[in-house]
Chain A
Amino acid sequence: GIQVEQSPPDLILQEGANSTLRCNFSDSVNNLQWFHQNPWGQLINLFYIPSGTKQNGRLSATTVATERYSLLYISSSQTTDSGVYFCAVERSGGSYIPTFGRGTSLIVHP
């Protein structure tokens, strides 16, 4: 199956700092999503981005499908950004089974 690697595994920031999270995948993908899982377990949709660039407030994401990676940028981080960020992909021509990366755990200190 498709391999999904996220880096870094852990990240600790001071409030106000910027960060870049990376998702590498081993095959062509039809779908790619970024999620934020808050401390209560809710998975929140951040971006649906199989290719291109999108922005939503302080967050933006870029997927370069031909090079098989996606980046999530968080600017001016806030304590509420703490949690785990997951990338999930669906392989092109695959069996519609989403594959999650292992996540990046982010802690933002005040």
Chain B
Amino acid sequence: DTEVTQTPKHLVMGMTNKKSLKCEQHMGHRAMYWYKQKAKKPPELMFVYSYEKLSINESVPSRFSPECPNSSLLNLHLHALQPEDSALYLCASSEGLAGYNEQFFGPGTRLTVL
């Protein structure tokens, strides 16, 4: 099974709302990633978790708060977002960070901030 799942598929939220994006994989992967993708642009890395610890934070604003409750789950908590945060949010996983590191992506959550 090479599937990464993400919920919800679509999310509309106001600037004062708090919401969470969820990502799950059952491939036994130990690295998980959040990406943000704006229209007609490549995915931009936001966070990397390795063995459930935050390994990389690409200077993401604190209104985005990642969480890795266990090796299969990755959450992204959203609070006080701005309209420019509207984008496709993609989750990915890989076996680890070193050596063979093929990434598998989920279908994404399309976020609209009003």
Contacts and interface: CB of A to CB of B under 8 A. Distances in A.
Task: Decide whether A and B are members of one complex.
Answer: yes
Nearest to B96: A96
B42 A45 contact: no
Contacts of A48: 102
A77 to B, nearest CB: 21
Given A98-B45, A103-B42, A42 B102 contact: no
A40 B110 CA distance: 10
A30 B99 contact: yes
B101 A30 contact: yes
Contacts, number: 53
Given A41-B37, A97-B58, A102-B41, 10 more contacts: A31-B101, A33-B102, A41-B108, A88-B103, A96-B31, A96-B56, A96-B97, A96-B98, A98-B45, A103-B42
Contacts of B102: 31, 33, 45, 48
Contact of A90 (B41, B88, B101, B107): B101
A30 B101 CA distance: 9
Contacts of B99: 30
A73 interface: no
B107 A42 contact: yes
A45 B99 CA distance: 18
Given A95-B56, A96-B48, A96-B56, A43 B101 contact: no
Contacts of B90: 41, 43
B104 interface: yes
A44 B58 CA distance: 24
5 contacts: A41-B107, A43-B43, A45-B102, A88-B103, A97-B58
B105 interface: yes
A13 B41 CA distance: 22
Contacts of B58: 97
Interface in B60-114: 88, 90, 92, 97-105, 107-108, 110
